[in-house]
Structure 1
Amino acid sequence: MSQIKLLHVALRWLRLHTQFAALSSLLILAGCDQSGANEYSGGNLGAINHVAGQSINWFSVDGYRVPGTGGGYCCVMIPDKWRPGLVVHIEWEIDPNPHEKIPMRKEGAGYDQNAYALHKAKYRQYSADVPIPEYDESAGITVHFLPCQQVKVYAGIASYGADTYPIKEPTDMKEPATCPK
């Protein structure tokens, strides 16, 4: 190939590469500044089980998984400023009979594996997309597990039981015989 042809090919490649780089930069910059709409902070995850007689084995909020319903597990990312349409995806597993006696092995430590497998087969898993109510300031997310696989979330700074806490359901609710559809 002649030097002139090589020079033309090199210039064409350079021009296309420069145009691609400029377009890529423009697209990246266009999505960056949305007046604080994309500012997130980490917050704790916690949960409150309102259903008597069942336990929550684990739950997750947008993929951030927590064992049980304890509080203070770090972290979930939540927008610094609330905006309409905020939704979280909740997944959870319940043990509908947490007080069932599972026999121990005859020899050695631990549960009888067959009995444990029968117990574990009764676990149920659920998921729901839950809107986040408006908040002024967030310290994380508290998930409330209610009867009939209903879920509410709170993302403000008040504590459960406080006058300003919006979720008022008690923590010893019974699961009805049939749930509304």
Structure 2
Amino acid sequence: MKQKRTTLMVVILAALTIMIAACGKVGGQADDMTASSITAYNHTPDYIHQFYVNDAWGGNSFAYGGGGGFVCCVTYPRKWHQGLTATVRWTTSSSDPNATGDAAVGKWHEAIVPIEKYDEPGTVQIHFLPEGKIRIIISNFMSGHPDYPGPEYPVVPPDFHFEPWRGAASEEEARARSREAHRALQVSPDDSPSLPPEQMPLYPKERQ
């Protein structure tokens, strides 16, 4: 009987040791991570209905704008390391409130994007660039600040005149555009067909 109790104690102690080791590993991983808000800059003429960074929703972004809104939160390592990436998914359509056909329908895109080197945690800032390219900058400075390590704030071209909601030919068209954008925001990217992401700088393929 004594031998059985001894054996049982050994088994219990071994199990406790494994549990403690596992908890320490999880705690260590948590200590290595941090969470920050997300903001976006849209350097394109398209309207971005919504975007996700590693499945964290980041909101929307108007053509040639951004940086004014923040959404919480996305987690990432406190210390940058080589090969650090994030998966970005976003949906776009024409900024023309009078657009019809395919131009007015939101299209999903997905890409694996390298996270550029950072020295300390900061706001996760997503730059949507022309030709489907994306840059991810983590910084405590915003675009336009002299110490910001990323692209300059988006510049509106002289020939760009479309503004969602306000650029429609009639109030009814503006309301219709607003309803369309609202519906797009209710659609999760998980509802769209699965598409293998591509390593940037390759252009992300549109979801069919």
| Equivalent residue for 1:55, pick from 47, 70, 73 | 47
Residue-pair matches, total: 153
**Which residue is equivalent to 2:77?**
79
Name the amino acid aligned to 1:68.
Answer: N
Residue 16 of structure 1 corresponds to 11
- Candidates 92, 95, 98, aligned match of 2:95: 98
**Counterpart-to-counterpart distance in 2, 1:122 and 1:136:** 40
Asked whether 1:136 is paired with 2:119, we answer yes
TM-score, normalising length: structure 1: 0.67
Could you tell me which residue of structure 1 aligns to residue 108 of structure 2?
Answer: 125
Larger % of helix: which?
2
Worse overlay, 62-71 or 138-147: 62-71
Q: Distance in 2 between matches of 1:37 and 1:17?
A: 28
Q: Which residue of 2 aligns with 1:29?
A: 24
Q: Which amino acid aligns with 1:51?
A: T
Q: Are the counterparts in 2 of residues 55 and 98 from structure 1 also a CA contact under 8 Å?
A: yes
> What displacement does 1:12 show?
4.0
Residues 138 and 29 of structure 1: is their aligned pair in 2 closer, same or farther, counting only changes over 3 Å? closer
Displacement of 1:72 in angstroms is 1.5
Identity within the alignment, %: 23
Q: 5+ unaligned residues in a row in structure 1: which ranges?
A: 103-114, 175-179
The separation in 2 between residues aligned to 1:72 and 1:172, in whole angstroms, is: 21
Q: Does 1:68 pair with 2:60? A: yes
Secondary structure of 1:68 counterpart:
strand
Q: RMSD across aligned C-alpha pairs, in angstroms?
A: 3.3
Q: What secondary structure does 1:134 align onto?
A: coil
Residue 166 of structure 1 deviates from its aligned partner by 2.9
**2:150 is the alignment partner of 1:155:** no
CA contact (8 A) 2:38 2:70 kept: yes
Distance of aligned partners of 1:164 and 1:122 in 2 relative to their CA distance in 1, 3 Å threshold: same
